[in-house]
Amino acid sequence: MKNRKIWKSGAVILSLLLIYNLIAFPVYGNEIQKDLFTEEEQAYIEKESVLKVGYVCDRRPVSYQGENGELAGISRQIFDKISEISGLNFEYVALPPGDITYEYLLNEGFDLVTSVEYNKENQNARGILMSDPYLSSRKVIVAKEGLNLRKDAHFTVAISTGSQTLKKVLTNQYPNFKLVNYPSIEDCLKAVNQGDADLLIQNQYVVEYWLYKPIYNDLVVIPMLEMLDQLCFSAVVPLEITNDEDPVWREKKQQISIINKAIAQMSEGEVSGYIIGSTLEDMYKYSISDFLYQYRYTVLILGIAFVVICILVYVAIHFRIRSIRDRSDAKAKGDFLSAMSHEIRTPLNGLISLNYLMSQNVDDKEKIKNYLQQSSTVSQYLLALVNNVLDMSKLQENKIALEHEPVDLQLLLETVESVERGSMEEKEIKFRSDVSLSYPHILGDEVRIQQILINLLDNARKYTEAGGSVTVTVSQSWNLEGDIITRIEVADDGCGMSEEFQKKVFDPFAQERDTVSKGNEGTGLGLSISSMLAERMGGTLSLESRLKEGSRFIFTFPARPAKPGGEDAASVETQKSSTHDRPHILIAEDNELNGEILTELLEEEGFPVLLVENGKKAVEAFAASAVGEYGVILMDLLMPEMNGFEAAKAIRSLDRADAGSVKIFASTANTMQKDRAKAFESGMDDFIAKPIDIGDLIKKLQN
């Protein structure tokens, strides 16, 4: 449809141009003006400098506001010709949108209004001064294709504000039409296009300009043969003045007379030339949004295809990265398992060898004593490996609960220093410390702080050669929240780390084995555990390192201050004296070997012991004993017939004076937080993890 319209328009334009070129246009000058205008009109032209003309600016291409803010379009070319013929000068001012009243025009000092719909009957009835039409076209109907136009039909008609004459005509001729005002021609078209209105009636030139926009492809133009659209000037004069003797009325009539004579001098061909020129110069500009709308389905399909391709690429990259990460994790875990296999097999091999040597040298007490000391060292190392793996698992599953108890940092640092100094001196490493504690007493988890510090020192010792140095620096400060910030730095001048490895030094299973000298065993979990513990405390563990120059680990954590505490001499003396009164101990242990070893160890320390093989017998033994006979019950948790939890509840429920006061210690390899919580809920007083640290157990029993 659009192609046909363009061809027809082209043919019309060529025909009009031919006519336009065949017409000889007269040259207007002062001589012609003398013949054309009366002496009174010539006097008025010479006297009047500029006439203020108001125009409607949404009638493109008939009249609109150009880029320079001036009136543009077909009307402007015609007005310039009128000015050339008549000698009148015009100032063009855009009228605001909406219906314009004569009161507004008078108050703003307008002399004339242009692009007014010419209606002779309206002019005679109201006494309005109008010029002859300077531009004629037809009113056309714009509607969606297939609309059945009947005069008795009920239609909603979109009308742009300012079309007063059209409203009056439609109201008189089409009483069934419902007229709805819209601010502009384009708003009217949108209303019809969206179905809010059935049709629009407007000037043919204006409508055809907008219909080049692709969004209106579904709209068609229907000529209204009985309705011309003629535009003219209207003089702005108070409506109550209609007397020819009135000077204002006479002046306005002179204006209209001069304009009419100028309009009469323009041929139809000349006006057609203006129409063609303005239409070609101001054709609708095809925009990117128009292109996207016209080819919206193609763009939509291409867009969907692009999104699908992006998704496929993303999925491919995601799976590729995941595959690489899985391979990397598998390699790291494989390296870890290989390291664990080596680390566990080495001490186990040592234990087996030591056991064989002891069997071969039973009568040599010195050798047996030496072998036992070595066995103890190897066993402690093996236990440390297992504890690291368990701690890693608990931290990853968020199953480690930190204590919030008073901690003497000064004493903790001195203890760690005494433990580490021997191994440092053995490797000929200079070990120095610079401790400045303003607030040594804090609330925190002493065991975990000590664990992090020992991990850092062990790491520093491991990667520092003989003759090197390790330095511990401790300082404190306050933060704005009222916490004490403790900063512990562990620096060494050892082998250092590569920049690449520093990025993953705190990852589980990570260990830069290229830099590990022979004999530097480890699982690669210590730093990862320390980093997780520091984060759990609300602190940080960071690293500064340069390859072959050394490393500096910085551990900071916040804590609340604690009141300094201590035991007085009397309490210490009481504790010392109580060690002579060994409490009787009831052991419930279903593993015969573990029970016999524990019994022998405690009896050598002077504790009377009774060993039973399950929880049921433990309850029976306690119930059959004298009140106060047993001071402590060591209770395994997983036993046949009755487990430790049930046995503890049964003992606490017995009707005897010491049922609530006897100390019950859980003794188990189940060290998860949930097991601890369940033990305390069942009435137990303490929790001792297997393998049992005999020294720690003796201290608990003495207290």
Q: Are residues 455 and 349 in the same domain?
A: no
- pLDDT of 35 higher than 90: no
Residue 396 located in a structural domain: no
For residue 644, give every residue at least 6 positions away whose Cβ sits within 8 Å of its Cβ, in sequence order, or none.
588, 615, 635, 636, 637, 638, 666, 668, 679, 682, 684
Q: Are residues 163 and 54 in the same domain?
A: yes
- Max CA separation in the chain (angstroms): 154
Confidence category of residue 378, pLDDT binned at 50, 70, 90: low
Residue 504 located in a structural domain: yes
Instruction: Check residue 450 and report its DSSP letter.
Output: H
Chain mean pLDDT for the chain: 79
CATH number at residue 671: 3.40.50.2300
ω into 691 cis (within 30 of 0): yes
Structure tokens at 699: 């201290």
Residue 397 located in a structural domain: no
- pLDDT of 342 higher than 70: no
CA angle 535, 536, 537 (to 5 degrees): 90
Which position has the higher pLDDT, 124 or 674?
Answer: 674
Last residue of a domain, one of 368, 391, 414: 391
Q: Kindly write down the DSSP assignment for every residue of 477-492, as one continuous string.
A: EE-TTS-EEEEEEEEE
The predicted-structure confidence for 651-664, as pLDDT tens digits, reads as follows 999 999 899 999 99
The predicted-structure confidence for 382-407, as pLDDT tens digits, reads as follows 676 677 666 666 666 666 778 888 99
Instruction: Check residue 582 and report its DSSP letter.
Output: P
- Is the pTM of the predicted complex or chain greater than 0.85? no
Residue 271 located in a structural domain: yes
Q: Are residues 61 and 203 in the same domain?
A: yes
Among residues 383, 520, 403, which one has the least CA distance to residue 462? 520
The predicted-structure confidence for 685-698, as pLDDT tens digits, reads as follows 988 887 777 777 88
Amino acid letter, residue 471 = T
Percent of the chain with pLDDT over 70: 78
Among residues 579, 586, 644, which one has the least CA distance to residue 614? 644
Which position has the higher pLDDT, 14 or 666?
Answer: 666
Among residues 267, 276, 269, which one has the least CA distance to residue 85? 267
Strand partners, 432: 471
E runs forming strands in 168-240: 178-182, 199-203, 219-235
| Mean pLDDT of all residues in 361-390 | 72
For residue 263, give every residue at least 6 positions away whose Cβ sits within 8 Å of its Cβ, in sequence order, or none.
82, 131, 132, 133, 134
Euclidean distance between CA atoms 508 and 337, whole angstroms? 12
Q: Are residues 257 and 302 in the same domain?
A: no
Q: Write down the pLDDT at residue 503.
A: 84
H or E segment at 454? helix 446-462
Q: Are residues 191 and 319 in the same domain?
A: no
What is the number of structural domains in the chain?
A: 4
Helix (H, G, I), strand (E, B) or coil at 53: strand
Q: Are residues 588 and 550 in the same domain?
A: no
The predicted-structure confidence for 444-502, as pLDDT tens digits, reads as follows 988 889 888 988 998 899 889 999 999 999 999 988 777 899 999 999 999 888 888 88
Residue 458 located in a structural domain: yes
| Mean pLDDT of all residues in 179-203 | 86
- pLDDT of 619 higher than 90: yes
Euclidean distance between CA atoms 460 and 471, whole angstroms? 9
Q: Write down the pLDDT at residue 381.
A: 61
Structure tokens at 314: 């993303």
Structure tokens at 92: 């063009």
Helical H runs in 361-408?
365-396
Last residue of a domain, one of 293, 328, 349: 293
- pLDDT of 419 higher than 50: yes
Structure tokens at 581: 């009164």
CA angle 335, 336, 338 (to 5 degrees): 65
Q: Are residues 251 and 320 in the same domain?
A: no
Euclidean distance between CA atoms 39 and 48, whole angstroms? 14
CA distances, 162 to each of 24, 258, 368, 699 (Å): 38, 26, 117, 103
Q: Write down the pLDDT at residue 15.
A: 47
Residue 564 located in a structural domain: no
Structure tokens at 616: 């049921």
Residue 478 located in a structural domain: yes
Question: 577 in the Ramachandran plot: left (φ > 0), alpha (ψ -120 to 50) or beta?
Answer: alpha
Residue in this structure with the two tokens 């589980």, named with its chain if needed? 508
Helix (H, G, I), strand (E, B) or coil at 553: strand
Q: Are residues 271 and 333 in the same domain?
A: no
CATH number at residue 356: 1.10.287
Q: Write down the pLDDT at residue 558.
A: 94
CA distances, 380 to each of 2, 151, 421 (Å): 93, 107, 18
| Mean pLDDT of all residues in 329-338 | 64
Q: Write down the pLDDT at residue 575.
A: 41
Residue in this structure with the two tokens 């242990």, named with its chain if needed? 589
Q: Are residues 358 and 243 in the same domain?
A: no
| Domain assignment of residue 519, given as a range | 403-559
Q: Are residues 108 and 231 in the same domain?
A: yes
Euclidean distance between CA atoms 613 and 369, whole angstroms? 32
Around 697, how many Cα atoms within 13 Å sit in the side-chain half-sphere?
22
Q: Which range has the top average pLDDT, 117-126, 430-439, 499-508? A: 430-439
CA 547 to chain centre: 38
Q: Are residues 284 and 136 in the same domain?
A: yes
Confidence category of residue 645, pLDDT binned at 50, 70, 90: very high
Q: Are 451 and 416 in contact (CB under 8 A)?
A: no
- pLDDT of 21 higher than 60: no
Q: Are residues 194 and 104 in the same domain?
A: yes
Burial class (CB in 10 A: 0-12, 13-18, 19+), 101: exposed
The predicted-structure confidence for 553-600, as pLDDT tens digits, reads as follows 999 999 999 877 544 433 434 444 444 467 899 999 988 888 888 888
Structure tokens at 146: 């297939």
For residue 515, give every residue at least 6 positions away whose Cβ sits within 8 Å of its Cβ, in sequence order, or none.
463, 495, 497
For residue 287, give every residue at least 6 positions away whose Cβ sits within 8 Å of its Cβ, in sequence order, or none.
none
The predicted-structure confidence for 255-291, as pLDDT tens digits, reads as follows 888 889 988 888 888 888 888 777 666 666 666 766 6
Last residue of a domain, one of 255, 273, 293: 293
Q: Are 537 and 466 in contact (CB under 8 A)?
A: no
Q: Are 510 and 332 in contact (CB under 8 A)?
A: yes
Residue 638 located in a structural domain: yes
| Mean pLDDT of all residues in 109-118 | 83
Strand partners, 143: 199, 220
Residue in this structure with the two tokens 């009047």, named with its chain if needed? 48
Confidence category of residue 542, pLDDT binned at 50, 70, 90: very high
Helix (H, G, I), strand (E, B) or coil at 478: strand
The predicted-structure confidence for 133-154, as pLDDT tens digits, reads as follows 888 887 888 888 877 777 677 8
Q: Are 634 and 598 in contact (CB under 8 A)?
A: yes
Q: Write down the pLDDT at residue 695.
A: 77
CA 11 to chain centre: 59
For residue 419, give every residue at least 6 positions away whose Cβ sits within 8 Å of its Cβ, in sequence order, or none.
454
- pLDDT of 537 higher than 80: yes
CATH number at residue 419: 3.30.565.10
Euclidean distance between CA atoms 275 and 13, whole angstroms? 10
